[in-house]
Amino acid sequence: MTCRMTVTTDRMHPEDSAEWAHATRRVSSVYMQAFLCSILFMTIGFYFFSTDFQVAPDNYTLLAHSYRADYTHMTTITFDEVISSMNPKHPLHKILARDYFRYSFGTVFKNHCYLFPYPEGYSLPSLLRRMTFSAPAQVAMRTAVLVSITVRMVTTMCRSADILMQNTAKASQIRCLSCLCSVADLLTSILGMFVTCLHDGIDSAAMGFLVYYALPLFGVSFFTSGVLYTSIEYYDSKRKSTRVLERVFCLALFVLCLPVVTRDYISFLLSKPCLYHVDCLTAICEYTCIASIVVFYLTQVEDFTKMEMVLSTEKVETMCCMDCVDFPDYKPAMLHDFHKMLERQKALEESRLRELELLDQEGELRLSSRSHWNFSPGFLTNGNLV
């Protein structure tokens, strides 16, 4: 059994083309714009990560604030200051040291975390941990993920369709891979949204499973979508340069570093420490995972450089208000309910017109019958009635 697929395209006649409105856009431009928007919001998130997190002042009494004023002129207490005070040699150890304190995330002030001293040796901040304490940082990272949710899936489908037209002999395999890749890419975006949207102190009661397992599920879906997309590239017969090696390298680094990051993040969610600093190995693994994702998506720009998508609509469809009497065949796409309403109104008007015509005909018949009985015919003689 053989399967043959032919793609035929006919050029539109100039007279017919004048009645249509065409919008042509490069797929690479759309993808790059979404990518740059995501990078912009990630940069904004990094800015909020770098700011000092302030502790709510009502965690400490006025007496503690007055004692603290003898050592510093800063009126606000930061996380770093409280964690540093866990050291018994710190001058504010007896004033600021405590088991846990509450912190505000957005408008919620019921969150709490337990105080522990910094890990021994050199430590680096964890982006996943800092998102838990900073609502602006989480909003920025959330926006970076949401900007490109549908764009990546659509561009992947466009790329798969392009490869399908080049290699029709293996159409069934390419269709299967493109379907799986689109679903995996969509799942990656959704799970990435869960990682950046859910908060342990707010959502753990209702969505505890997603709070704790969104990160490993995101890693699995990203690796799956990356492998499927790289597999589809092997069917491209016209490619001159490919980024397969770079993508394989990114996926390998991601797979090696993800277990370390996942183990540390889940333990952080379970123990709820106030620390957003981790040891160097965990921090480097986390930074490597983020860089691998960014570089992998950046390599896809080259695949869309010679692709264009054309959106064609009839020019009459761009009009918002049209009279159905002047345009009886006007049927705008994506406005089916509106068109049905116009058809019903038109049918009601036609039925009313028929009723009026019938009433007029009945009135004429009555008038003609009255004139027949009231005036009898006579004889005309030289123009006079006899």
For the ranges 256-270, 272-286, 295-309, the lowest mean pLDDT is seen at 295-309
Q: Supply the pLDDT for residue 386.
A: 46
pTM for the model stands at 0.68
Q: Evaluate whether 181 touches 222 at the Cβ level (below 8 Å).
A: no
Amino acid symbol at 199: H
| CA–CA distance, 199 with 267 (Å, rounded to integer) | 15
Q: Is 24 exposed, middle or buried (0-12, 13-18, 19+ CB in 10 A)?
A: exposed
- Interval 130-162: pLDDT, tens: 888 888 888 888 888 888 777 777 788 878 887
| Range 8-13, long-range pairs (CB < 8 A, 24+ positions) | none
The two beta strands, 108-114 and 380-381, are: unpaired
| CA–CA distance, 126 with 118 (Å, rounded to integer) | 13
Amino acid symbol at 37: C
Highest mean pLDDT range out of 16-20, 134-138, 304-308? 134-138
